[in-house]
Chains A and B, each alone.
Chain A
């Protein structure tokens, strides 16, 4: 707090985030270099049968991408190129990786955003209701279903939804996502119903549990007893006093979940439903041996997670005056 309170805190957090980013980049560089096949091999796999002498091609590729330089120079090049936005060339799609990402990130974004809205709103509501009605049938039912929701593997849930509601089942939805639909249209929203349920169910179950325990924690606090003793209606006690105190930790957990649960889930959901987001692109790139795409998407996942955590932490300190800046 000596260094200017909130501003000092934000600056320190930013420096720390930059260091972690460098660490993340270093880990990927290290993994790429210790891998059994050098990047040149992966490039070669894409250019196979174009020439008679592979060793010549390897030498050419190594010279072109600086792989014959000493390892520290390669490392510096790698970091500098990433920072400049030069993320390499995607062989399988014949365009710069940057352009590929720009074209496809929106599909992942809309899936994740809608799933989070769906699961957070419903999960928190059920959690609150279940906490207020603790030890009633409703509470047991909600707890039971959240247990099932947490345990159900989301990619299997997706397949079951397809089996029941589209194609040969009830036929309400298309089996594959139609990329021709304009974004932010009603038809697009309908096409995303099953993917959002697939990705959102597990998250919703988790949020129900967090919300329930956060509300229960606060219901036992003294200020709630005071509020009730003042004669405030229960609606105000829950809505104002309890909810406002419980919501912050819930939001932190939701944001923290993003990297662990949501990105992995979105990856699989996109593959099952054929949504052309970053997960699907990375999946295609893996089987085309298109390694710059795979590296970049892994890095983007890590950086987005880092950034959301950073923003959440900073916003949190603004919203909750009790937090200390250390």
Chain B
């Protein structure tokens, strides 16, 4: 199915995409060696993400409206995946425009600490200045803080919105990097075989031997945490699964007639790899990308939960950490970020399942 998409769109697209990448690399070089900073580190990831999304997502879908409609109808059959997609869209909108409406997630206000969510009332020991003693006070939830506040009086809603932004950044960008590396590794390894295959696959084996989370902790420990670096590290360590899968997919494609035909017509290796192999493994790649986003989001949350996240951003893991500290006094601080994290993971899992069934109902992925 996907092959038809690529043939219609043509090979000019790849050239423009590589051109965009080259421009990005040039800007990167000037940022490294010249004084004036043109782009923030995170902006490179965004531009890269945008380029991939436009050239290999939006444009092909737009150019083949009939096929797009066909895929959409098949995904629609999977009711849960539509719900998942709706939730993810909602989350993206919240992450994009939410911070405009919410309060500052880092604003500490001890006068309003441990305020429960709206509709709940808790009892707290409060020091009464006039009576000069501790009194039990009923504290009701207010609309000022719809989801309550934590033990430092920070607004829960604001922190969760900020966390949504962090999680989506990490999830989408890191998986994009991982999938990019994995696809290239897999296709090169399968198509060229021999020494290239051996070296790349042995390296994949070595990387796969490391327990993912332990390796992540180890690298962050050595290099120090920052959001950009965490995205990069997760991307650079989690491509192994994609590489293996793409390799086995490409191996079976290599012997198919249309590749033989194109080879005997004198097509170059680059042309076969870019025009025939990659477009044909794309559907597998999209499925594995969607299904690996939740793992990455959880890994980031776990990192910041144990205190190895970027200390300058408020992520769901940071809130959960605060929540574990105040389980006795403020249960909502631990419950709320966890529920959203759980729903996000569930949504991506549902969507991934739906996409897989839409692309290939027989797949055993």
Which residues of A line the B interface, CB within 8 A?
Answer: 19-20, 23-24, 27-28, 31-32, 35-37, 147-148, 150-153, 155-156, 159-160, 162-163, 167-168, 213, 259-260, 263-264, 267-268, 271-272, 282-283, 286-287, 291, 294-295, 297-298, 301-302, 305-306
Q: Is the CB of A156 within 8 A of B306?
A: no
The prevalent SS among residues of B at the interface is helix
Q: List 23 A-B contacts (CB under 8 A).
A: A19-B202, A20-B205, A24-B210, A35-B223, A36-B224, A150-B349, A151-B342, A151-B346, A151-B349, A153-B301, A153-B341, A153-B345, A159-B323, A159-B334, A160-B335, A167-B328, A168-B328, A259-B209, A271-B306, A283-B306, A286-B308, A294-B218, A301-B210
Alpha-carbon distance A160/B301, docked complex (angstroms)? 16
Chain B residues, CB < 8 A from A305: 209-211
| B346 and chain A: residue at smallest CB distance | A151
Which residues of B line the A interface, CB within 8 A?
Answer: 202-203, 205-215, 217-219, 221-224, 294, 298-299, 301-302, 305-308, 320, 323-324, 327-328, 331, 334-335, 338, 341-342, 345-346, 349, 364
Chain A residues, CB < 8 A from B349: 147, 150-151
Chain B residues, CB < 8 A from A282: 214, 217
- With A20-B206, A306-B209: A263-B222 Cβ-Cβ less than 8 Å: no
Contact of B342 among A28, A156, A213, A287 (CB under 8 A): A156
- With A32-B222, A147-B349, A159-B320: A302-B342 Cβ-Cβ less than 8 Å: no
Alpha-carbon distance A71/B306, docked complex (angstroms)? 34
What's the least CB distance linking A87 to chain B, in Å? 15
| A300 and chain B: residue at smallest CB distance | B214
Alpha-carbon distance A151/B208, docked complex (angstroms)? 22
Q: Is the CB of B222 within 8 A of A35?
A: yes
Chain B residues, CB < 8 A from A168: 327-328
What's the least CB distance linking A120 to chain B, in Å? 19
| A264 and chain B: residue at smallest CB distance | B213
Q: Is the CB of B338 within 8 A of A160?
A: yes
Chain A residues, CB < 8 A from B217: 267, 282, 286, 294, 298
Chain B residues, CB < 8 A from A156: 320, 334, 338, 341-342
Chain A residues, CB < 8 A from B307: 287
Contact of B218 among A147, A162, A298 (CB under 8 A): A298
- With A151-B294, A160-B334: A302-B210 Cβ-Cβ less than 8 Å: yes
Q: Is the CB of A260 within 8 A of B327?
A: no
Q: Is the CB of A159 within 8 A of B324?
A: yes
Chain B residues, CB < 8 A from A159: 320, 323-324, 327, 334, 338
| A27 and chain B: residue at smallest CB distance | B206
